[in-house]
Amino acid sequence: MVDARRTSGLFISLQRNVRAQCASAYVNFRKIKHPGRLSIWLLGAGKSRELFHGLLPRLAPEASVCLIAPNIALARKYHEETKRKGLDYVCYLDEPGGKISARRVVVCVNSLPRVLPRFDMVVMDEVNFTLTNMASTVMKDKKQALRHTSRFYTIRNRGVWPSSRKAFILPMPGPLVGRGQPKATYSLVVDGIVDLVASGKTVMIPATSKTFVELLEVEFKARLPGKNLIAFHGAKREGADKRLLQHAISNPNDALIADCLAFTPTIGPGVSIEKKGSYDLVIGVAVNSDNHPDAQVLMQQIQRARDAGDIRIYYGEIQSRRKVAYPTTKEEVFQMLENSDLQLADLMQGVSVDHLDMLRAAPGERAIYDRSSATCNLYANNLLGRLQSRQYYIHLLTEDLRRQGVTVVNQLNVRTWGGDAEVELVAKEELVDETIEQWRERHLVSWEQFERIRGMMSSPSGGVSRQDVLRYEIFDAAVFCYGIQYEKVDPEFVAEFVQGKHAKDLMTKFKSYERFVTSTYASTIGTLSAAIEEGEQKRNIQEYLEVRDRSANGITYAWCVLAALVGIPAEKVENTVFGSYKIVDGRLGEEMLSAVFDMDDFNMSASLETLERLFKPRTSFAGKELTITRRRNVIKMVLEGGLGLTIRLAHFSNGCRRGFHRIVPIQKWRALDERYGGLKDKLVEKKSKPCLVEIDE
């Protein structure tokens, strides 16, 4: 039992991000001096459960408690939880207007003036949601405002465990603006989801777009009348829909289980599906715009099912039309608002600033915001948080998922929906009879124009159109990566090497080939250890891993594999531009490849996961039976990812292979040079200038 006298003035805010075993933390209260001046910030999943099952039942009966809920529905839910535990709490919704004198009360923020001015314990659950996803600096400010003498303790990383879940961040299969959009784009995702459910998968869809959920409802009911869909969005606020939502919030483990669950932020923090294996797959629909919920909201939505399967997130961005220089500090926010920057204020649409504390020197003079006001600081940080989400949506989302122990794969440069077929963008309005000269006039830019676009892309003010981004990507791929003659670029190059499904993979492999033919074996030795040393200087483990897992770090390993296949020392391998290497008689080839796979020097069988991190194959070999064909494909993965080479098998005739297996450059490199020119010249020129291997990617 926790003594009420020892909890006097205790303020606990339960926040998210890193899983914490809250009950283990409670026993430490008696070990801290002056617990009456203690603030605790708990991070992670499972906090609300421990609050109602662990902490509140252990409080002395005379302890007064104020439990602050983020919204009305959760206030009801929290009150029901206290009743289930036999605790005597009052819900502010059940009290008539005016002051509430109860010593134990569940309340929302906007009704705090109705309750007693002082409690032994104040608990704020889902503080991010309650205070509009405020930044961490606001938590500090707000804590000081509540009790400026309070000590502040952070309990984090208490119960993190490795997770087998993976999250794939994928591009929306089409634009979200233009004629016929975004419904045409959303429909492509909807079709895929319906196909998954039809195949027997259970799917949860957190979405930041009401339009998407509405489209899914219509298509699902038309195609799968025998399946069960539960959908919640902002248009469902009355009658049976409202009762269903309230039931779902109170009993999520029963009411939120279906073949398919789709919801907007209508279902948010505090509603957790704890059932094991609740959904086979989570498919998130993320729209980054001035008008859609920010990244923090989607993070919360994804975590509603605690034990679901892998995650796919389809991300689309709508370019802002506002020309606002983003502020980076609270002071800049105050100054811009004081200067009546209407565009900046408009980014917080529907949020009034009339309630903010201001000081006015004289009637008629402009407003001056009170920098010491907790309300003003909260508003400024709300705005900063929204701007940060607008600029760094994917970064914030990725970091949050990784903190949850999820492995994140960013595939935003890869088209994946619908197999190998390219998605036809509905908003693409190119003329049928457009000549190649007209196409180049629209898509190719001068060096000065390229520099201007690059500057705009790196500027916080943004303002870059999708067309400008495409021009930038074409220039970057043609000139800086492949070195082809830019003036010869055509739609076919863009379709495969810029926008194609495997464009990013091809670019990575070409950089590997460029390193191979322009380096010496001696210069590659130590690249991995150098990368690890560089990574150790990084600020966090994720940056370290990104440096460690560069494909360039595997060049020495791949070079040695090539030498073993050819049968010569690694330093004797001639890495001429477009050169090839004869391996062995095709009739003995499979045995030879398998023998190299089994060499102790390479230890491929035990190193598959490491090799896949370095060379990033399209399909994983880990955990599968290593047949002769798979062994050959592992070696092929090493050669393609590390050196930009591939295996060309001897031709097959009369039941056996005739001739020799060869290791050759990936055919696309020669095809690019033959069609556009310049690629081979670039490599030859670079090869003539001795230099250390480049590892930047």
Structural domains of the chain sorted by starting position, each given as residue range(s) with its CATH number in brackets:
32-157 (3.40.50.300), 166-322+390-399+404-410 (3.40.50.300), 436-499 (no CATH), 505-688 (no CATH)
> Does the pLDDT at position 627 exceed 60?
yes
pLDDT value, residue 501 = 78
> 232-241, 429-438, 639-648 — which one is most confidently predicted on average?
639-648
Distances from the Cα of 351 to the Cαs of 238, 294, 302, 379, 380, in angstroms?
A: 24, 15, 25, 9, 12
pLDDT value, residue 617 = 84
Nearest CA to 63 out of 105, 24, 33, 15 is that of: 105
Q: Which of 265-269, 280-284, 354-358 has the lowest mean pLDDT?
A: 354-358
> Does the pLDDT at position 428 exceed 50?
no
> Does the pLDDT at position 381 exceed 60?
yes
Q: Is the dihedral of CA 133, 134, 135, 140 positive or negative?
A: negative
pLDDT one-digit tens code per residue, 647-697: 887 766 666 666 677 888 998 998 899 999 999 888 888 877 654 444 444
Per-residue pLDDT band for 48 (boundaries 50, 70, 90) equals: confident
Per-residue pLDDT band for 69 (boundaries 50, 70, 90) equals: confident
Per-residue pLDDT band for 488 (boundaries 50, 70, 90) equals: very high
Residue type, 565: L
Euclidean distance between CA atoms 230 and 213, whole angstroms: 10
The residue with greater pLDDT, 141 or 567, is 567
> Does the pLDDT at position 637 exceed 60?
yes
Give yes or no for a cis peptide into 182 (omega within 30° of 0).
yes
pLDDT one-digit tens code per residue, 269-309: 557 787 788 899 999 999 998 888 888 888 888 888 878 89
Q: What DSSP string runs through 228-294?
A: -EEEE-TT--SHHHHHHHHHHHH-HHHHT-SSEEEE-TTS-TT--B-STT--SEEEEEEEESSSS--
Residue type, 114: R
> Does the pLDDT at position 585 exceed 70?
no
Euclidean distance between CA atoms 506 and 320, whole angstroms: 31
pLDDT value, residue 357 = 53
pLDDT value, residue 543 = 60
Distances from the Cα of 356 to the Cαs of 129, 332, 334, 367, in angstroms?
A: 20, 16, 11, 10
Mean of per-residue pLDDT scores for the chain: 74
Cβ neighbors of 548 (< 8 A, separation 6 or more) are 528, 531, 532, 535
pLDDT value, residue 487 = 93
Residue owning tokens 């949050």: 400
Nearest CA to 491 out of 521, 468, 518, 470 is that of: 470
Q: Which of 389-393, 449-453, 645-649, 686-690 has the lowest mean pLDDT?
A: 686-690
> Does the pLDDT at position 413 exceed 90?
no
Coil/strand/helix, residue 630:
helix
pLDDT value, residue 695 = 45
What radius of gyration do the chain's Cα atoms show? 30
The residue with greater pLDDT, 56 or 466, is 56
Per-residue pLDDT band for 536 (boundaries 50, 70, 90) equals: low
Per-residue pLDDT band for 535 (boundaries 50, 70, 90) equals: low
> Does the pLDDT at position 139 exceed 60?
no
> Does the pLDDT at position 203 exceed 80?
yes
pLDDT one-digit tens code per residue, 561-584: 898 888 888 888 888 888 888 876
Per-residue pLDDT band for 417 (boundaries 50, 70, 90) equals: very low
